[in-house]
Amino acid sequence: MLLAVLGGFFGSLHPVIDLISHYQVHMLFGGLALFGLLALRKDWKPCAVVTMLCAVTALRLAPFWIADEPHVEGFPLKVMSVNVHTRNTHSRPFLDEVKRLAPDVIAVIELSERWERAIEPLKADYPFSTISRLPGDRRYGVAILSKYEIDPMPMPPDRLKLHFRCAAALISTPAGPVRVVAVHPIPPTSIAASRHRDLQLVCVNEFVRLDSSYEPMIVLGDLNATPWSHGYRLLIKGTTLRNTRRGSGIMGSWHTTIPSVLRIPIDHILVNDPIGVSAIELGADIGSDHLPEIADLVIPQTVRVSESDTAQ
């Protein structure tokens, strides 16, 4: 438990420490169970240490349970982020879930060539899209599907050097332009991979910070990082990005084969300050190892004023 608590603060020291930091919820409940056992034995000094560690962990998790989302008036925009899993051969559950939820914008992660063909029926409702693949990559594409017109945005040159799977687009919603960045950094399966993932998340951070306008921005996808990890902090550093989960619970999205209470939140929808959040939920199991994440956003009325309107 001590390692998990320290990992939340000092994950930058070593990737292994950072990896342990993902399991804050597990350590909190384990710590509470340990506290109960120690209390029954009346081992008060260890009880005090465990209480302190549980308190630190609970304070770190608290914003995801009790934070208040500011009220924003504007245009509703429903957004979905989903890792369909390149080896998932059953596309019907995903198509049915899209039909049930009817999001306005969808970020599809791990879009293989087979999955690209499987989602063609969505073109009737989502006529605008952009798909990004690394050279020679037939399995791990990233796509943005939209009911509204899309203007693809170029990502930084470091994207290719870092072999970073991502896509970006400017979406022309009825409320005005909204920048959407869908990302899928590599999983931290080794020390080298963990450091590589962090570099990819820094690449996203730099891309977000280059945009100094007040236009709404959404960063979403399978980040392979929990909100308590070093990589996640690198992503949001110096930005106004905030997690749409805040105030709604931990909502672990991975791995679907284990009980929900044990899952960790590595799929995220992040928004910047102009955007409001009215609801957030996890979707149904679509046969992937990830659950879809869906956020009901509010694009503020102020962005309805275009440059041409201002000139008039």
**pLDDT tens, position by position, 187-211:** 998 889 999 999 999 999 998 988 7
- Alpha carbons 89 and 81: distance in angstroms, whole number: 19
Quick one: pLDDT at residue 34?
Answer: 86
- Alpha carbons 268 and 195: distance in angstroms, whole number: 20
The more confidently predicted of residues 1 and 245 is 245
State the DSSP code for 59: H
Instruction: Give yes or no for a cis peptide into 22 (omega within 30° of 0).
Output: no
Smallest CA-to-CA distance from 74 within 236, 271, 231, 229 is with 271
Quick one: pLDDT at residue 8?
Answer: 52
Mean pLDDT calculated for residue range 123-142: 94
pLDDT tier at 304, thresholds 50, 70, 90: very low
Give the H/E segment covering residue 43.
none
Its CATH architecture, for the domain 74-304, is 4-Layer Sandwich (3.60)
pTM: 0.89
Smallest CA-to-CA distance from 122 within 149, 138, 104 is with 104
Q: Copy the structure tokens of residue 101.
A: 């939820």
CB atoms within 10 A of CB 255: 14
Domains of the chain, by residue range, sit at: 2-61, 74-304
Res. 312: pLDDT tops 70: no
Strand order in the sheet with 176-184: 150-152, 165-173, 176-184, 217-222, 267-271, 242-243
